[in-house]
C-alpha cells in the first residue's frame, strides 16, 4: 500500500529542507507540494533503472516545474541514481544538481526545465516517438499550476488530444501559489479540470497528498485508451511545514538556521 | 533561374526519407510553403502537423530528438526565431538533435511584407551554443546541406529562400560544413584583389553579378559563398584577407549580428587591418518585388559594385 511510503515522504521532505538550507537558496514551497506525487510515481509507476539511467526502454518523467527540482533530486538520491551526500551540493559551482535540472549534467534527468510551459510539449514529442516505435513506454509530465498560465501549455494540450496520445499523463501540482501571490489572484486558471476535459483529456481531480489517491489515479490513467490523461492534484504549497504552508513568501526562499531546525522538527515529528 | 532553396529542401527530404529512417517532419500550418507537403503525402506516419503553434512544435521536436528521432521542424524563419526561448532551453540546453528549417528568409520573400520577413534569425541563432547555421546559395548546395544536416548529431538551423536563385556552384560542387568557398573569381587568378565579397543565400548571385561587372573595368573581385554562418570559417577568411584590399559582406538579414558581424569578428581577431564594408538590411522591410527590395535596401549588384570600389576610382 502506498501509505507505507509515508515515512519515506517525511524523510524526503527533510532532505528538501536540508538541501535548500545548505544551498542558501531554492524553492521549498513547490518542492514540498510535489514530493508525494514524485514519490508514488517513482515507487509504483515509472519504469526506471537507477543503475542504468540511459536504458532506452525506460519510461520518461519530465518535471516541467523545474524549480521544484530539490524534490526530484531527493527522490532520485533515495532511488540510487547518485549518492545521497551529493544532495548537499545543490546549486553549487560544478554540481550536477543545478538550480534547475539539466539532462546533460545529471543522468536520470530527461529534459532541462525551468522555462515554464515547455515540459508538456517535450513530453508529447517523447510520447509521439514511443508510439511511432511501438515501445509501450509511458511519459509523465509534472507541471505547476502557475505554469498553466503559459500559452504554450494549451498548444500542447490541444496537440496531445489531436494525436490521441494515451501514453502521456500530466499531473498538475495545483498548490495555488506562485511568486507574486496566489494563482487565483495573479491570473486565475480555474476551473482547471473542466478546461482540461474540454481540451480532450481524461481528467481526474485528487488530493495530491493522499498517497493512495495518487497511486489510484496513476493506475487509472494507464487504462485509458486513445486519450491523454490529466491528474489535477490539489496540494498545499509548503506542505508539512506549518509556517510555509500556503505562504507564497516561501515560493523561492531558503530557511535560515532556526527556521530549518523548526521545519525539520515538524516534518520528522509530525 | 534555378530553384528556390526551399524547393530543393523539399525534394531532398523525399529523396532521403529511406536513408534516414529516424527522420520525422513537423509543420505548423505552412507545409505548402516550406515544401514539406510531398514528404507528408508519402510518409504520413512520419509527418506531424502542429497547427499554428510553433513553440509547441519546437519543444515537441526536442522530445522526439531525445528519444532518438531526427526531427525536422519547419516554418517561416521569422516564426521560428520568434520562439527563441523555446529553442534556447528545449533544443540547445538539452543538446537535442533538432533541425530547424526557416524558409522565407529576408527581403527576398517580396510582396508579403515586413511581418513575414526573417531578418533577425541569424543574429539570434548565432548566440546559441552548439547551433550550426547553414544558408545554401543555390539548389545543389541546399540538397547537400540537407543530407549533411540529417547525418549531423546536434541542433542545426537551415535558412532557406522563398525566391528562386541562380545556380552558383559547378557540377563538381561538394558541400562541406564550416567552409567559405570561392564561387567566382577572375581567370587566371590575380595575385591581388581589390575586394573579396562574402555573400550568403539570396545575395550570392548578386555578388557574382557585381564581380563580373567590375572585371571589364579592371577591378579584381572574388566572390565567396558563406554557406555556413556558424561555426564561421576564420581560417579561410585569413587567406582572403591576405590578398584583398577590403572585405565586403552582403546579406539579406539585418545589418547587426549576421554574416557581416561574423566576418568583422573574425577579421578583427586576425588583426588583419583590412576594412570590412557591410551591406545588410537596416530597416524593417516592406512589400515589393525581391529585385525592387534588394535595390532599395542596398543589396543589389550595383550596390555591391559600389561597395567594392568606393574610394578606389
Helix (H) or strand (E) holding B48: strand B47-49
Question: Between β-strands A139-144 and A202-207, what pairing exists: parallel, antiparallel or unpaired?
Answer: unpaired
Q: How sure is the predictor about A3, in pLDDT bands with cuts at 50, 70 and 90? A: confident
Q: Which residues of B touch A125 (CB under 8 A)?
A: 59-67, 71
Instruction: Find the CATH number of the domain harbouring A54.
Output: 3.40.50.970
For residue B106, the model assigns a pLDDT of 98
Q: Which residues of A touch B66 (CB under 8 A)?
A: 103, 110-111, 122, 125-126
CA gap A122, A159 in Å, rounded: 12
Distance (Å) from the C-alpha of residue B83 to the closest C-alpha of chain A?
Answer: 10
CB B210 within 8 A of CB B221: yes
Q: Which residues of A touch B59 (CB under 8 A)?
A: 118, 121-122, 125, 152, 156
Please identify among residues 32-91 of chain B the ones whose CB lies closer than 8 Å to any CB of chain A: 45-46, 48, 50-51, 53, 55-56, 58-69, 71, 85-86, 88-90
Contact state of B93 with A152 under an 8 Å Cβ cutoff: no
For residue B313, the model assigns a pLDDT of 62
Q: Please identify every residue of B annotated as catalytic.
A: 54
What integer best gives the mean pLDDT of chain A?
A: 97
Q: What is the mean pLDDT of residues A7-18?
A: 98
CB B175 within 8 A of CB B145: yes
Contact state of B86 with A118 under an 8 Å Cβ cutoff: yes
Q: Which residues of B touch A113 (CB under 8 A)?
A: 89
What are the angstrom distances between the C-alpha of B93 and each of A104, B24, B55, B129, B133?
A: 8, 21, 15, 8, 17
Neighbours of B234 (CB within 10 A): 17
Q: How sure is the predictor about A2, in pLDDT bands with cuts at 50, 70 and 90? A: confident
Chain A contact probe: residue of B63, B66, B84, B87 with most A CBs at under 10 A? B63
Helix (H) or strand (E) holding A77: helix A69-79
pLDDT per residue over A13-48, tens digit each?
999 999 999 999 999 999 999 999 999 999 999 999
Chain A contact probe: residue of B47, B48, B59, B128 with most A CBs at under 10 A? B59
Neighbours of A3 (CB within 10 A): 10
pLDDT per residue over A55-77, tens digit each?
999 999 999 999 999 999 999 99
ipTM of the complex: 0.97
Contact state of A121 with B63 under an 8 Å Cβ cutoff: yes
Tell me the whole-structure pTM to 2 decimals: 0.97
Nearest by CB to residue A110, choosing from B45, B66, B69, is B66
For each of chain B's 313 residues, which pLDDT tens digit applies?
A: 899 999 999 999 999 999 999 999 999 999 999 999 999 999 999 999 999 999 999 999 999 999 999 999 999 999 999 999 999 999 999 999 999 999 999 999 999 999 999 999 999 999 999 999 999 999 999 999 999 999 999 999 999 999 999 999 999 999 999 999 999 999 999 999 999 999 999 999 999 999 999 999 999 999 999 999 999 999 999 999 999 999 999 999 999 999 999 999 999 998 878 899 999 999 999 999 999 999 999 999 999 999 999 887 6
Contact state of A156 with B59 under an 8 Å Cβ cutoff: yes
CA gap B283, B285 in Å, rounded: 6
CA gap A103, B26 in Å, rounded: 24
For residue B293, the model assigns a pLDDT of 98
Neighbours of B289 (CB within 10 A): 12
CA gap B270, B164 in Å, rounded: 36
For residue A1, the model assigns a pLDDT of 67
Contact state of B59 with A125 under an 8 Å Cβ cutoff: yes
For residue A270, the model assigns a pLDDT of 77
Using a CB–CB cut-off of 8 Å, the residues of A that contact B are: 56, 60, 102-104, 110-115, 117-118, 121-130, 132-133, 151-152, 155-156, 158-159, 163
CB B106 within 8 A of CB B252: yes
Shortest CA distance from B92: residue in chain A: A112
CA gap A255, A244 in Å, rounded: 10
For residue B272, the model assigns a pLDDT of 74
Q: Which residues of B touch A110 (CB under 8 A)?
A: 66
- How many structural domains does chain A have? 1
Q: What is the mean pLDDT of residues A200-215?
A: 98
Provide the strand spans (E) within A115-253. Answer: 139-144, 168-174, 177-178, 181-182, 202-207, 229-234
Residues with Cβ within 8 Å of B61's Cβ and at least 6 positions away in sequence, in order, are: A125, B26, B71, B73, B91, B96, B98, B100
Query: For helices A6-23 and A257-269, what crossing angle results, to 10°?
Result: 180
Distance from the Cα of residue A231 to its chain's centroid: 12
Domains and CATH numbers, chain B: 5-159 (3.40.50.970), 180-309 (3.40.50.920)
Shortest CA distance from B53: residue in chain A: A155
CA gap B219, B211 in Å, rounded: 8
Distance (Å) from the C-alpha of residue A185 to the closest C-alpha of chain B?
Answer: 26
What's phi and psi for B252, nearest 5 deg? -90, 75
Which residue segment(s) compose the domain that A264 sits in?
2-269
Q: Which residues of B touch A114 (CB under 8 A)?
A: 89
For residue A188, the model assigns a pLDDT of 98
Amino acid at each position: 500500500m502506498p501509505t507505507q511510503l509515508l515515512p519515506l515522504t517525511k524523510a524526503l521532505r527533510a532532505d528538501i529542507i536540508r538541501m535548500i538550507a545548505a544551498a542558501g537558496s531554492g524553492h521549498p514551497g513547490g518542492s514540498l507540494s510535489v514530493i508525494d506525487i514524485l514519490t508514488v510515481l517513482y515507487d509504483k509507476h515509472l519504469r526506471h533503472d537507477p543503475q542504468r539511467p540511459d536504458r532506452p526502454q525506460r519510461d520518461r518523467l519530465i518535471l516541467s516545474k523545474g524549480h521544484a527540482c530539490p524534490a526530484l533530486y531527493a527522490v532520485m538520491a533515495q532511488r540510487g541514481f547518485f549518492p545521497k551526500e551529493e544532495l548537499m551540493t545543490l546549486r553549487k559551482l560544478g554540481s550536477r544538481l543545478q538550480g534547475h535540472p539539466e539532462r546533460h549534467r545529471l543522468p536520470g534527468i530527461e529534459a532541462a526545465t525551468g522555462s515554464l510551459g515547455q515540459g508538456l510539449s517535450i513530453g508529447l514529442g517523447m510520447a509521439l516517438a514511443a508510439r511511432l516505435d511501438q515501445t509501450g513506454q509511458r511519459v509523465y509530465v509534472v507541471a505547476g499550476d502557475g505554469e498553466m498560465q503559459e500559452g504554450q501549455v494549451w498548444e500542447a494540450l490541444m496537440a496531445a488530444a489531436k494525436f490521441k496520445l494515451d501514453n502521456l499523463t500530466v499531473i498538475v501540482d495545483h498548490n495555488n501559489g506562485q511568486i507574486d501571490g496566489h494563482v487565483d489572484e495573479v491570473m486565475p486558471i480555474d476551473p482547471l479540470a473542466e478546461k482540461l476535459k474540454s481540451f480532450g483529456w481524461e481528467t481526474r481531480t485528487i488530493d495530491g497528498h493522499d498517497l493512495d489517491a495518487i497511486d489510484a489515479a496513476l493506475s487509472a490513467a494507464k487504462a485509458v485508451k486513445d486519450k491523454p490523461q490529466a491528474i489535477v492534484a490539489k496540494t498545499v504549497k509548503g506542505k508539512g511545514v506549518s509556517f510555509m504552508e500556503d505562504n507564497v513568501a516561501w515560493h523561492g526562499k531558503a530557511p535560515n538556521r532556526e527556521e530549518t531546525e523548526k521545519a525539520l522538527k515538524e516534518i520528522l515529528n509530525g | 533561374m534555378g530553384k528556390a532553396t526551399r524547393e530543393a529542401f523539399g525534394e531532398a527530404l523525399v529523396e532521403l526519407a529511406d536513408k534516414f529512417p529516424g527522420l520525422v517532419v513537423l509543420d505548423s500550418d505552412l507545409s505548402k510553403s516550406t515544401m514539406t507537403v510531398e514528404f507528408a503525402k508519402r510518409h504520413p506516419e512520419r509527418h506531424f502537423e502542429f497547427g499554428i503553434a510553433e513553440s509547441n512544435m519546437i519543444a515537441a521536436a526536442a522530445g522526439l530528438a531525445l528519444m532518438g528521432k531526427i526531427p525536422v521542424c519547419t516554418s517561416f524563419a521569422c516564426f521560428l526565431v520568434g520562439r527563441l526561448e523555446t529553442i534556447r532551453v528545449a533544443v540547445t540546453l538539452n543538446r537535442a538533435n533538432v533541425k530547424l528549417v526557416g524558409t522565407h528568409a529576408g527581403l527576398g520573400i517580396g510582396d508579403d511584407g515586413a511581418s513575414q520577413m526573417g531578418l533577425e534569425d541569424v543574429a539570434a541563432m548565432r548566440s546559441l551554443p552548439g547551433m550550426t547555421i547553414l544558408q545554401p546559395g543555390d539548389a545543389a548546395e541546399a540538397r547537400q546541406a540537407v543530407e549533411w544536416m540529417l547525418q549531423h548529431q546536434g541542433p542545426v538551423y537551415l535558412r532557406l529562400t522563398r525566391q528562386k536563385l541562380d545556380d552558383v556552384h559547378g557540377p563538381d560542387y561538394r558541400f562541406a560544413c564550416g567552409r567559405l568557398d570561392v564561387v567566382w573569381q577572375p581567370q587566371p587568378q590575380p595575385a591581388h584583389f581589390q575586394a573579396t565579397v562574402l555573400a550568403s543565400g539570396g545575395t550570392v548571385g548578386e555578388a557574382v553579378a557585381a564581380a563580373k561587372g567590375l572585371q571589364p573595368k579592371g577591378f579584381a573581385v572574388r566572390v565567396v559563398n558563406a554557406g555556413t554562418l556558424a561555426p564561421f570559417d576564420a581560417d579561410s577568411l585569413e587567406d582572403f584577407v591576405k590578398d584583398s584590399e577590403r572585405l565586403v559582406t552582403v546579406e539579406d538579414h539585418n545589418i547587426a549580428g549576421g554574416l557581416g558581424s561574423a566576418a568583422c569578428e573574425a577579421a578583427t581577431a586576425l588583426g588583419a587591418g583590412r576594412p570590412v564594408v557591410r551591406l545588410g538590411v537596416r530597416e524593417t522591410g516592406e512589400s515589393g518585388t525581391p529585385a525592387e527590395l534588394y535595390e532599395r535596401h542596398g543589396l543589389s549588384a550595383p550596390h555591391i559594385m559600389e561597395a567594392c570600389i568606393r574610394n578606389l576610382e
